[in-house]
Structure 1
Amino acid sequence: MSKTILYARVSTADQTLDHQKAQAEASGFVIDEVVADHGVSGVSTTLRERLEGKRLYDKLRHGDTLVVRWVDRLGRNYQDVTDTIRHFMRQGVVIKTVVNGMTFDGATQDPMREAVRDALIAFMAATAQAQAEATKEAQRAGIKAAKHAGGKYRGKKPSFSRNTFQVVKEQLDIGQGASAIAKLTGISRQAVLRIRKDPSLADEALKRWGE
């Protein structure tokens, strides 16, 4: 029996798993299973290198549908994204995006349709990589400008306060799970995971922002 799997890559506090799933369901997708990677880069890690992403290669079968918010969730490297989509199409998997409602499959035998499909895949993968490179360049420019002005680059402002940080640490100390803590404090699960992974780094970020 065919199934529909949502793959979510959550790399920032603005891209929560719940948000990506809700968007997919609001677009009419009936999701059978969710596979998600948290806090991973789409530039430096391929889908096969991610803890959860690599499971898709074993899970997906002919007739299944892979849903992603957009192709940048698969990755932000042109070669990796195009290789990934073509691999799944050869396996008989249909790839669908929530944004723009795109569908990619290998069923067509018409050469013109294939050409248009492949050109669109290439364009979207190239756009994902270009956006990632533009973001990195903007970050570098911001750091350079701050240093030139005699200031200190503070990085992205934390999504939590000092008080929230303390609550998260206390809850982690008594063994509470990340999802429960996120619900209690109102911050994202990914933010909780970042604090758990390196509380000193979170502490330093708060200090840079005067917390």
Structure 2
Amino acid sequence: MEYGYARVSTKEQNEERQLIALRAAGLHNHQIFLDKQSGKDFNRCQYQRLLRRLKRGDTLIIKSIDRLGRNYHEILEQWRIITAEKQAAIVVLDMPLLDTHQNRDLTGTLIADIVLQLLSYVAQTEREFTRQRQAEGISAAKARGVQFGRPRKERPENFDELKSLWVSGRLSARVAATQMGVSHQTFLSWVREHS
């Protein structure tokens, strides 16, 4: 049996490009498993369901190696589980050299292993570069005065009065927060800031 696996990192991303490629490879929707979450690890519902279904002689088709994940060691481990333990084949559409059901001889296996290790390394390195670029971008934005997160709420005029009532025990924090129109946590954080 042939199965396909597609993954996008967030619910907002579009998986259609991967699904088109998997359908073009001859798969039907009921053969395709799709996750909408990060590839940083393999604790993904549909991927785990797919692994339970894979058996000896089956083939897993993916568009690119980074759909499995971005961590070098975990990609290699999953590859080993699928090809050695499950004895299923893997076809990576974007990289014909990573087609284990066509390259079963020793040379084909060696080439697939070398390419797999190289691509896994590149995928993890790209992820690390992305994180580094993100951190640099955030630092540069902060240096320019860009504020991240929600705008800070200003304390209402009656804050000092309600804080005094709360400190003296005549008013609960929840009631004080409600009277100011803020959450209980916001009230308590203002109290901590101004103590």
Specify the TM-score bucket, using the shorter chain as the normaliser. Answer: 0.5 to 0.7
Higher relative contact order (CA 8 A, sep 6+): 1
Tell me if structure 1 keeps the 8 A contact 2:61–2:91.
yes
Q: Contact 2:3/2:27 (CA < 8 Å) preserved in 1?
A: no
2:48 equivalent among 54, 64, 67: 54
Unaligned runs of 5+ in 1: 155-211
Q: Is contact 1:92-1:105 (8 Å) kept?
A: no
Shift of 1:33: 0.9
- Verify the 8 A CA contact 1:63 1:94 in the aligned structure 2: yes
SS across alignment from 2:19: helix
Matched with 1:98 is: 93
SS in structure 2 of the partner of residue 101 of structure 1? coil
Q: Structure 1 residue 73: deviation in Å?
A: 0.7
Matched, 1:65 2:63: no
What is the aligned-residue identity percentage?
28
Residue segments in structure 2 that go unaligned for 5+ positions in a row: 150-195
Query: C-alpha deviations, 1:64-111, integer Å up to 9, x for none?
Result: 11111211110001011011112111122111122233433277342x
Partner of 1:83: 77
Name 2:6's counterpart in structure 1: 8
The alignment's TM-score, normalised by the length of structure 1, stands at 0.62
Structure 1 residue 29 corresponds to structure 2 residue 23 = no
Deviates more, 1:117-126 or 1:100-109: 100-109
In structure 2, distance between residues paired with 1:21 and 1:116: 27
Aligned to 1:135: 130
**Separation of aligned partners in 2, 1:148 and 1:65:** 51
- Structure with higher Rg: it is 2
**CA–CA distance in 2 between the matches of 1:71 and 1:14?**
21
Aligned residue for 2:38, secondary structure, equals: coil
Counterpart contact for 1:5–1:66, Cα < 8 Å: yes
Distance across 2 between alignment mates of 1:73 and 1:61: 20
- The one-letter amino acid of 1:108's match is R
Distance, in Å, in 2 between the alignment partners of 1:153 and 1:147 is 8
Matched pairs, number? 146
SS of 2:55 mapped into structure 1: coil
* Pair 15,103 (structure 1): closer, same or farther in 2 beyond 3 Å: farther
Residue of 29, 38, 41 corresponding to 2:38? 41
> Which of 110, 114, 123 is residue 115 of structure 1 equivalent to?
110
